[in-house]
Amino acid sequence: MANVLVTGGAGFIGSHMVDLLINQGYSVRVLDNMIAGKQTNLSQHRNNNKLIVDERDIRAVNEKDALYKNIDYIYHFAGIGDIVPSIDSPEEYMSVNTQGTVKVCEGARINSIKKLVYAASSSCYGLATVPTDENAKISLQYPYALSKYLGECAVLHWNKVYNLPVNVIRIFNAYGTRSKTSGAYGAVFGVFLRQKLAGQPYTVVGNGEQKRDFLYVTDVANAFYKASITEKIGEVYNLGAGNPQTVNYLVELLEGPVKYIPKRPGEPEITWADISKIVKNLSWGPTVSFEEGVKKILAEINYWKDAPLWNEKSIEKATKSWFNNLH
């Protein structure tokens, strides 16, 4: 069976990608510096000789490195997320998300891989009209969005100039088990689950009526797999459930008290992926309902017991640069 490389493979989406690939019989190499990733996310494969884990930074791996030898497919998830730290440390975001992606493109090019699938971000659309298709205007609101979009541009450029076989998937709002538990104030699920464990109110931004196009992580991994094995190349796909949910509905499913906090500038009222292209081209579709996905997370809620516990005051402090720099 083929050899594949998953960058960021010990992280949230990456580890689910590894699960899918191992189950399909692939030999999997993971490249993850374990800053956001966790060895425990791969513990289910601990004794499997089809998995090799390399803990270097993507920027430190030369394109002629043995890691890239005899690789058929690369799934590139490695990078740094979260909006607020990108405002405070833009250079690091450009280095990891943009230059790091160029390094991966070179590894793919020099070793003549069959397909590179890049995890892009729907943040490139900014405050978009909805539902948002792949031709929507690019409107970059903060350095994280810029760094991910420039990574995407590099991937597509390597396709154009070097004929590197690539596909790009712009992820909207992925959620599920193993989502990030550490670091900066960020994705709503990690924040709420830790608050639930502590018996604290959920800190809901604005009036909670904002909608997000949440897609369960195993459906995300399946889309990436289909984008790798298709004959189509050089394509950009939007990826969501195509069925946005309000934050208020999420806290209703989680159950518990709510504390409403000020709305932040530069955040869309609604994210909503037009998924008609990926459904048609790749015969892909979401299989896990939002209610079912939330149940799966609640069944593993103790995963978030060591996550930072946020409250109104600590969020205000953490998002100060957001309010100061975005208008």
Give tens-digit pLDDT for 214-244. 999 999 999 999 999 999 999 999 999 999 9
Q: Decide: 3 and 29 in contact? Cβ < 8 Å.
A: yes
Query: Looking only at Cα atoms, what is the longest distance across the chain?
Result: 54
185 in the same domain as 156: no
Beta bridge partners of 261: 205
187 in the same domain as 110: no
Residue 174: the pLDDT is: 95
Residue 277 falls within a domain, yes or no?
no
Structural domain span for residue 196: 177-212+243-269+288-325
Residue 323: the pLDDT is: 66
Both tokens assigned to 11: 């992280």
Residue 84 falls within a domain, yes or no?
yes
256 in the same domain as 112: no
Q: How far, in Å, CA of 103 to CA of 263, rounded?
A: 38
Residues whose CB falls within 8 Å of the CB of residue 288, separated by 6 or more in sequence, listed in order: 216, 218, 219, 296
160 in the same domain as 21: yes
What pTM, to 2 d.p., does this model score?
0.96
Reported as a pLDDT band with limits 50, 70 and 90, residue 317 is: confident
Residue 183: the pLDDT is: 58
Q: Decide: 22 and 75 in contact? Cβ < 8 Å.
A: no
Query: Which CATH number does the domain housing residue 222 bear?
Result: 3.40.50.720
Q: Decide: 195 and 82 in contact? Cβ < 8 Å.
A: no
Residue 278 falls within a domain, yes or no?
no
Query: Which CATH number does the domain housing residue 319 bear?
Result: 3.90.25.10
Residue 282 falls within a domain, yes or no?
no
Q: Has residue 302 got a pLDDT over 60? A: yes
Number of neighbours of residue 256 by Cβ within 10 angstroms = 13
76 in the same domain as 224: yes
225 in the same domain as 206: no
Both tokens assigned to 124: 């490139």
Give tens-digit pLDDT for 34-80. 999 999 999 999 999 999 999 999 999 999 999 999 999 999 999 99
In the chain, how many domains are there?
2
Residue 247 falls within a domain, yes or no?
yes
157 in the same domain as 111: yes
Q: Has residue 324 got a pLDDT over 80? A: no
Q: Decide: 186 and 175 in contact? Cβ < 8 Å.
A: no
Residue 71: the pLDDT is: 98
Residue 275 falls within a domain, yes or no?
no
Between 264 and 207, residue with greater pLDDT = 207
Residue 280 falls within a domain, yes or no?
no
Both tokens assigned to 173: 């709002």
219 in the same domain as 71: yes
Q: Has residue 87 got a pLDDT over 70? A: yes
Residue 223 falls within a domain, yes or no?
yes
Q: What is the mean pLDDT of residues 261-274?
A: 87
Residue 326: the pLDDT is: 65
205 in the same domain as 126: no
169 in the same domain as 51: yes
250 in the same domain as 136: no
Ranges 101-115, 173-187, 258-272: which has the least confidence? 173-187
Residue 186: the pLDDT is: 57
Q: Has residue 185 got a pLDDT over 60? A: no
Q: What is the mean pLDDT of residues 116-123?
A: 98
191 in the same domain as 98: no
Both tokens assigned to 110: 């020099």
